[in-house]
Structure 1
Amino acid sequence: MSQVQTIVLVHGFWTDASSYSEIILALLAEGYEVIAVQNPLTSLADDVAATKRALARIKGSCILVGHSWGGMVITEAGNDERVSGLVYIAALAPDAGESMMDLLSQYEAPSASQHFQEQDGFIWISKEGIQRTFADDLSLEQSALIYATQTAPSTALLTAKVESPAWKNKPSWYIVASNDQAVSPDFQRDTAKRIGATTVVVESSHVAMMSHAKEVLDVIRAAAASN
């Protein structure tokens, strides 16, 4: 095993840390320490703080993994000296001063957007939206579980901006979900190229860590082995 002993996982909108369940169990079986952050999804600062608390618990170096919105979080939190590399899964990877809206507004609105439901400053996704667009390559039972346990993001996250992007100073890997209907695959490809990431394309919905865990694990292992 490489010097990297710990993998820290950061989830995105509507999922929680359990979205990495298969990934976690596999990594633990291989001898890694694993921490899956539970993002409050109330503000970028709150999510970065939650990730920093996780980083403060580890010894040595780690690979920091972010799915979707989690890419915003690891882009900021990844400046921590304990982070050796960044793995993005169908994720945002902004430059300084860029928000989610700044990035995604340049691309066609995803089909998932018609299934969003705003209530009291938070955004929920409908059961149909999860089944048809967000996680359409999962079983109905799995998508129903996502719906039942979803963590709704604050609308404030749409315009939150990163100050210091860690990908400028840390090696990065990017998993493009080519069948994604929540975040444009074209956006993902362009993002991976812009940050100079080692890129792997997976024929997956937005939740590649659930539907294509093996491929995601391969990328995480490669990132760990390179440090």
Structure 2
Amino acid sequence: MKNIRILALFVLVLFGATTAQAQSAKPTIILVHGIWADGSSWTDQIRALQAKGYKVISVQNGLTSLADDVAATKRAIQLAEGNVVLVGHSWGGFVITQAGNEPKVKGLVYVAAFAPDAGENVPALSAHGAPAEIGQYFVSSGGFVFLSEDGVQKAFAQDLSVAQQHLIYATQLPAQQTLFGEKSGAPAWKQKPNWFIITQNDKALSPDVQRFMAKRSHAVITEIASGHVVMQSHPEEVLQVIEAAANHVK
């Protein structure tokens, strides 16, 4: 009987150690928002990933310069334990393309995002498709670019509820005007696996531009019939792509 108890205890300890190892093997998911958004735009994915045992960090970009935003993401990477998967939306793609060169980063997920090559900026990439409708709704103030309420409703978050649109408009983080002209450095997607969610109904970043970047980076591509803020309009589908990337890099 004593031997059976010892064996049972050993099994429990071994099972607990195995479970802990399995949990620790999960990469940290670092989420990087774009312009006219903030870290809370990933709320659905944060809750779901945490419930599945992932450690999650949602970066808050200042949107004053590419270097500052990359530095903010690098600080998050330094905090992370083990491997990291970077997820970027819109402008966040510029950020993860640079920060993704950090050794801890094992995969990149582009969510309706820019995936620039060295020397490219927003206008250079946007030239690969038709002009985005969102440009009609820019409002400048103090050297920063805001999005009008009409712009949020018609070209940024057109497939969200009116209440969600009002919240986005009220909480938007504007970009310093010079941000759009900043050029990217050496891209991490040339050396690391990447996934790309293309938003077919996007009026902020042309789907054709997204397809050009995704094909060039040899990404695993998922297309969704969504507007630009797909992580809010199709949270489960975005979560599935993030998890696919996380499972790949274990």
Q: What is the TM-score when the length of structure 2 is the normalising length?
A: 0.89
1:57 partner letter: L
User: Residues 92-143 of structure 1: CA distance to partner in whole angstroms, max 9, x if unpaired?
Assistant: 0011111111111332211111111112211000111101110011000001
SS at match of 2:232: helix
What is the match of residue 175 of structure 1?
197
What is the match of residue 151 of structure 1?
173
Alignment of 1:53-202 (within 5 A): 53-202=75-224
| 8 A contact 2:195–2:221 mirrored in 1 | yes
CA distance in 2: counterparts of 1:139 and 1:99, whole angstroms: 32
Instruction: Work out which of the residue numbers 42, 65, 73 in structure 2 matches 1:43.
Output: 65
Query: Which 4+ stretches in 1 moved above 6 angstroms?
Result: none
User: Residues 29-51 of structure 1: CA distance to partner in whole angstroms, max 9, x if unpaired?
Assistant: 00000000000000000000000
RMSD: 1.0
CA distance in 2: counterparts of 1:147 and 1:53, whole angstroms: 28
Instruction: Work out which of the residue numbers 31, 46, 52 in structure 2 matches 1:24.
Output: 46
Q: What is the TM-score when the length of structure 1 is the normalising length?
A: 0.98
CA distance in 1: counterparts of 2:111 and 2:177, whole angstroms: 22
SS at match of 2:79: coil
User: Residues 170-224 of structure 1: CA distance to partner in whole angstroms, max 9, x if unpaired?
Assistant: 1000000001011000111111001000000001110011100100000000000
1:174 partner letter: F
Larger Rg: 2
| 8 A contact 1:8–1:36 mirrored in 2 | yes
CA distance in 2: counterparts of 1:98 and 1:149, whole angstroms: 29
Instruction: Work out which of the residue numbers 194, 200, 219 in structure 1 matches 2:241.
Output: 219
Give % identity: 52
In structure 2, stretches of 5+ residues that fail to align are 1-21
